[in-house]
Amino acid sequence: METSTASFRAVLACALLGAVPAALTTATGAGPSAAQMAEWNAPQAPFKLYGNTYYVGTKGITSILVTSEYGHTLLDAGIPEAATQIARNIETLGFKPADVKAILNTHAHWDHAGGLATLQQLTGAPLYLRRASEEVLRTGKLTRSDPQYGLKAPAIPPVKTIWIVSDEQLLGIGSNRFQAFATPGHTPGGTTWSWDACEKDKCLRMVYADSLSPVSADSFKFSANKDYPQVLQDFELSFTRLETMACDVLITPHPEQSQLFERANKADKGCKAYAQAARAKLAERLATEKR
C-alpha cells in the first residue's frame, strides 16, 4: 500500500475531538482478550508517512522506521508475535533489519514493548528509553507505580541492552536527530519522540506522541494513589507539552488514536487536539472516581 507522501503531512484535528477510539477508553478490568490481540496483530502493509519515515507496524499497533544511509531507527515493537511481521515489513520496503542501529520505546507496556527483545536479537540494536521504564523492560514485569499494574496482560520478554535517555535529550542515529520528551501519566516512563523528515527542500516535524489514556487496573485511582502520587501532575505536564509542541505530523502508538489510516488532510494542530481529547478522557475518569 503506497500512500501519497503529501497526504500524511498531519492528522485532521477534528477527528481527534470526535468519537474516542477503543485505545483511548478508560475501561478497567482484565487484560486484552484473544480477539483484541488478534485485531491488534492483524497484518498491515508498510507504507511511507513522509520523507524517510515509514509505518512498519501491524493493523492495530504502531511501529515506525526512520531510515538513513548511515543506519536506521525503529520506534516501538508491538506485541511479541508482531516482531517477525515488523521485520518482514522492513524488508518489504527494501531495507534490512540488520541496518537498524537503534530502537526507541514510547512506554513499557506489553502491547508496545512485547516485541522489543526479539527485534533486538534480529537487529543487534540497543534500546533507548527513559529510566522510569528500565526496570520493567529488564524484568518483564510492571512496577506498582504503573496504573495497569495488576491487569492480566502477558509478561514482557526482558530486554538486555538498554541505554537511558533524559528529558529533552537529543539522540543522533545515523544522519537523524531524535529528541526525547517526557510525557508520563499513562506510565511513569512515557516518552514522546520527535524528529525531522524531509522531501527535497520541505521538512516536517514528526511527533510520535506517547499514549495519554487513563487506562488502569480496577484498584488504581488517579485521584489519589500512593504508588504513583504525582500521576495527575504528570498527566498535566504531558498535556501541556503536547499542546505547545512543534508538530507537523502526529503519530500515535495505536493508529486509531490519531485516525492515522483514515485521515489524510493537512492540519497543524494534531498534537494539540490529541492532548485535549486525552485531557477530556482523564476528566471523565476522575468524575467516575468521585461517584
> What is the C-alpha to C-alpha distance for residues 141 and 17, in angstroms, rounded to an integer?
34
| pLDDT(16) > 50 | no
Q: The whole model's pTM is what?
A: 0.89
Mean pLDDT on 1-24:
37
Strands of the 100-104 sheet, one edge to the other: 47-50, 53-55, 64-66, 72-75, 100-104, 127-130, 162-165
| pLDDT(288) > 50 | yes
For the stretch 253-277, pLDDT in tens is 999 888 888 754 444 468 999 999 9
| pLDDT(163) > 70 | yes
Q: What is the pLDDT of residue 269?
A: 60
Domains of the chain listed by start with CATH number:
6-289 (3.60.15.10)
For the stretch 98-154, pLDDT in tens is 999 999 999 999 999 999 999 999 999 999 999 999 999 999 999 999 999 999 888
Provide the phi-psi class of 94: left if phi over 0, else alpha when psi is between -120 and 50, else beta.
Answer: left
> What is the C-alpha to C-alpha distance for residues 77 and 167, in angstroms, rounded to an integer?
22
